[in-house]
Amino acid sequence: MAKDYYHILGVGQNASKDEIKKAFRRLAHEYHPDRGGNAERFKEINAAYQVLSDDLKRSQYDRFGTTFEGSAGSQAGAGTGFGFDSTPGFDFEGLDLGDIFGEFFGARPRQTRARPRRGHDLTVELTIDFEEAFFGTDKEVALRKHAVCSRCEGTGREPGTGETTCTTCRGEGEVRQTSRSFFGTFTQVAMCSICHGRGKVAETPCRQCRGAGRELASKRLRVHIPAGIDDGGTIKLAHEGEAGEYGQPSGDLYVAVHVRSSPLFRRDGNDLHTTTAVSLTQAALGASMPVLLPDGTIRLDVPAGVQSGAVIRIRAKGMPQIGGRGRGDLYVHIEVKTPERLSRKAKKLLEELREEGV
């Protein structure tokens, strides 16, 4: 049965690259085996992301599906039982699609070189206070991941030893297998399983990582949270994800930031909203009163005759914009407070006002 990669990631067929990446990060964080997740589910998620995050692979998938079902390709290849399925470690580069389409559609055959993969991207979550989001802060995150081997520094060989040419692929880093059928010649190009695409092997594999060039390790990283970050914002730490095997580059680390709500302020983009209570006399006569901000206090001029529910805008007193490009605005919502108890004198004065129709 054909796999529905969009369904696996929980996105629609018109999803943007950013939406696909966000869905993958969320699901990978939930199902990653190192975090106790379901390994088979993680493989499915990774396979779906490898296809949908690549424009060419996504186009091929949208046209042919994972088994050419329901497409022009299914008609051309009917009865062959041939299809393609992207699974971890098989990125379409291993199968020479140029030969296949060349036989069916007359396209010129091509060779696709198998490439080793870099390390996986990782996602961690971090929760901060509203004030920390306002001013910016530095935080530490702890994670356990595959890191560059501390003994061989990622080379995969014992310190002081060298490398030799791989005899399996003769230094090419890949092996080819060609088969013929009624429909033509098929060439499968796969990464060499001995040298893992490098064309060379260690004379003496590192005894700590057994030649993989990486090891599981606990890491603590310092993360700078910029002033003005919003709830759900993401910070990218390049090359701080999982180390790649056999000397391949590391993936990236994404820090998903959650901001606790404030009892005094409600955020709307870079604007802040707060509520200030005024008395009947202040509402009627006007007043100058203090309004608390995250970074201090300002004086607010309340106009005479203000009504409860009125909103006063104060420019450039809201949340800082990331990158130091100014601030949003502050909106002060006025709430006129009616006294629950009155002195005799106050009651008499109000009765006099009532008689005057006020």
The superfamily in CATH containing domain 93-261 is Urease metallochaperone UreE, N-terminal domain (2.60.260.20)
Q: Are 141 and 273 in contact (CB under 8 A)?
A: no
Beta bridge partners of 178: 187
- Rounded CA-CA distance 97/110 in Å is 8
- Rounded CA-CA distance 42/24 in Å is 10
Structure tokens at 292: 């608390």
Q: Are 104 and 76 in contact (CB under 8 A)?
A: yes
Question: Dihedral (C-alpha) 84, 85, 88, 94: value to the nearest 10 degrees?
Answer: 0
Query: If pLDDT is split at 50, 70 and 90, which confidence band does 79 have?
Result: very low
The superfamily in CATH containing domain 266-355 is Urease metallochaperone UreE, N-terminal domain (2.60.260.20)
Pick the range with the lowest mean pLDDT from 77-91, 170-184, 236-250, 325-339. Answer: 77-91
As to burial, measured by CB atoms within 10 angstroms (0-12 exposed, 13-18 middle, 19+ buried), residue 241 is: buried
Kindly list the domain boundaries of the chain, sorted by start residue.
1-89, 93-261, 266-355
Task: Give the other-Cβ count within 10 Å of 330's Cβ.
Answer: 23
Reported residue count of the chain is 358
Structure tokens at 149: 């081997």
212-242 residue pLDDT tens? 999 999 999 999 999 999 999 999 999 999 9
Looking at residue 2, its pLDDT comes to 62
pLDDT at 81 over 50: no
**What number is the average pLDDT over the span 297-308?**
95
Query: If pLDDT is split at 50, 70 and 90, which confidence band does 184 have?
Result: low
The answer to whether 93-261 and 266-355 have equal CATH topology is: yes
List Cβ neighbours of 255 (8 Å cut-off, separation of 6 or more). Answer: 123, 124, 125, 126, 141, 223, 234, 235, 236, 237
pLDDT at 100 over 60: no
Nearest CA to 129 out of 223, 221, 227 is that of 227
- Percentage of the residues of the chain whose pLDDT score is greater than 70: 83
List Cβ neighbours of 120 (8 Å cut-off, separation of 6 or more). Answer: 28, 46, 241, 242, 251
- Of the spans 38-47, 77-86, 101-110, 316-325, which averages the highest pLDDT? 316-325
16-68 residue pLDDT tens? 988 999 998 888 888 877 667 788 888 888 888 888 988 888 888 887 765 43
- Rounded CA-CA distance 52/142 in Å is 30
In angstroms and rounded to an integer, the radius of gyration of the C-alpha atoms of the chain is: 32
Question: Angle CA(319)–CA(322)–CA(327) in degrees, nearest 5?
Answer: 35
pLDDT at 313 over 80: yes
Looking at residue 68, its pLDDT comes to 35
Q: Can you name the CATH fold of 1-89?
A: Helix Hairpins (1.10.287)
